Amino acid sequence: MNIGEKEYGNVFLAPMAGVTEVGFRTVCKMAGADLTYTEMVNANALMHNSNKTKDLLITNPIEKPVAVQIFGHDENIMAEVCASELLEKFDLIDINFGCPAPKIVKNGDGSALLNDLNKVYKIVSSCVKAANKPITCKFRIGFSNGQNVAKEMARVCEDAGAKMITVHGRTREQMYAGAVDYETIANVKSSVKIPVVGNGDVFDIDSYQIMLQTGVDGVLVGRGALGNPNIFAKLKGIAELNKIQLIEKHIEVLRQNYDEKFVSATMRKHLLWYISGEDNSNKIKLQVATAPLLDDAFRIVKSFLEDNKR
């Protein structure tokens, strides 16, 4: 699909807080993801020079193109961030209007903005005017069950200048449970002229095909990629990569950019995802979680996967 003046593929890695750091994005890109997104970045914290927030902006040259996702409710701060040099290296700037986390909603950010489409317009239009690259938006179909503002939200984002929208086919109230509303995603696609990406419960080829049947231009893969970067290879029909080598690369990239404490804490949860679903993986999960050092945990996982010929 075309987003702005550039052509992209159609299978993307979703932004996920605490998950899509630079190492994971890198291995997903290697496995076939056409576009990756950073974890969502607090625009206000970024403008207050939070080093922890700036760490979320670390990228790897091989993951181009790459998008940054920001969130906030003050259109002036959001615009300031979009105009800053901090985001210069990114190809796209995505605005989060979908995060359902209570602490985000409490501050009037994320999916809370689904209750104020006038504010959404101000935020998107301000960012479009300030940025020198395409602005895209990600949102849910509504805040509460029974409240469906998806078509109106899509048109507001388009009218404000967004170049692409991503629709997660659930309400904020649903969180990540319940059925994805494919009909609404299809209705959104038919109501706007800009590209539409579908999101929600894409875990395999079958669910990918179901999402494509809505007519969307692209598909965003979230939880289906956890411990499974090769999902992108499967969806695109290309050769899968060796899982052990992907894990080694994941660790390598993190160690190039962060201290060992962060790397260890981050990779231990990823290691558990990497072995989840493998036959007899439960017997080693405790060993992986309690191993003294990350390298010890990796050796356990490597031996297990070699025995399972992965």
Q: Which positions are annotated as active-site residues? A: 99
Classify the phi-psi angles of 95: left when phi > 0, otherwise alpha if psi is within -120 to 50, otherwise beta.
Answer: beta
Which secondary-structure segment (H or E) carries 191? helix 182-191
Residue with tokens 């300031």: 80
Cα–Cα distance measured from residue 91 to residue 6, given in angstroms and rounded to the nearest whole number: 9
- Residue pair 1/8 in contact by the 8 Å Cβ criterion: yes
Q: Which amino acid is at 6?
A: K
- Residue pair 16/40 in contact by the 8 Å Cβ criterion: no
Which two structure tokens, joined as six digits, stand for 106? Answer: 């409490």
State the DSSP code for 177: -
Sign of CA pseudo-dihedral 206, 10, 39, 118:
negative
- Residue pair 247/30 in contact by the 8 Å Cβ criterion: no
Residue with tokens 């906030």: 72
Which two structure tokens, joined as six digits, stand for 257? Answer: 């950019």
Cα–Cα distance measured from residue 16 to residue 169, given in angstroms and rounded to the nearest whole number: 16
